[in-house]
């Protein structure tokens, strides 16, 4: 008994979809494990520093003023991507630091803070001198009908 051509086509499409889903699950698990290992390394190297925040911007890595070795170690596809960069005075030195996007919104400009730093990466804020940590809520975008009201 012959199967119609569309039945064979549906079976082939179903097999391709199942194979694609299995491949995505396997790749996703590998990436998750890799990310967890990196997070453990960041947490192990984390230390608390006191710093004066001079400026903060979201800019491309090449324009950020980070050390040359950092740019060389960054994959090429990420060099043009915009990242949150914080310019801070740590002791007598003025340094450019990368920042976790979740923490970036909480960092006040021209204020002294105690932050958790791992290498040149700010992972969290412990305290702000003369104030409290500000958590800005993102404003919801108005829809088409919300703008007209």
What are the extents of the domains in the chain? 1-44, 47-128
Position 87 scores a pLDDT of 93
Out of 1.10.10, 2.40.50, 3.40.190, 1.10.3470, the CATH code matching 47-128 is: 2.40.50
Element of type H or E holding 77: helix 76-79
CB atoms within 10 A of CB 33: 10
Please name the residue that has the structure tokens 């630091």: 97
| 84-129 confidence digits (pLDDT tens) | 999 999 989 998 999 988 889 888 888 899 999 988 889 888 877 7
pLDDT, the chain, mean: 85
> In terms of C-beta distances under 8 Å and separation of at least 24 residues, what long-range contacts does 97-104 make, across chains too?
97/121, 97/122, 98/64, 98/66, 98/122, 99/56, 100/124, 104/56, 104/58
Read off the tokens for 9.
Answer: 């086509």
């Amino acid at each position: 008994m012959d199967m119609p051509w569309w039945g064979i086509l549906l079976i082939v499409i179903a097999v391709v979809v199942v194979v694609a889903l299995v491949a995505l699950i396997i790749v996703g698990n590998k990436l998750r494990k890799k990310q967890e290992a990196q997070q453990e390394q960041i947490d192990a190297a984390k230390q608390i520093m006191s710093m004066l925040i001079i400026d903060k911007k979201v800019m491309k890595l090449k324009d950020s003023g980070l050390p040359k070795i950092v740019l060389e170690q960054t994959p090429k596809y990420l060099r043009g991507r915009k990242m949150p960069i914080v310019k801070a005075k740590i002791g007598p030195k003025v340094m450019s630091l990368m920042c976790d996007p979740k923490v970036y919104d909480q960092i006040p400009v021209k204020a002294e803070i105690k932050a958790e730093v791992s290498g040149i990466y700010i992972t969290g804020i412990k305290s702000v001198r003369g104030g409290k940590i500000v958590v800005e809520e993102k404003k919801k975008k108005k829809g088409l009908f919300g703008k007209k009201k």
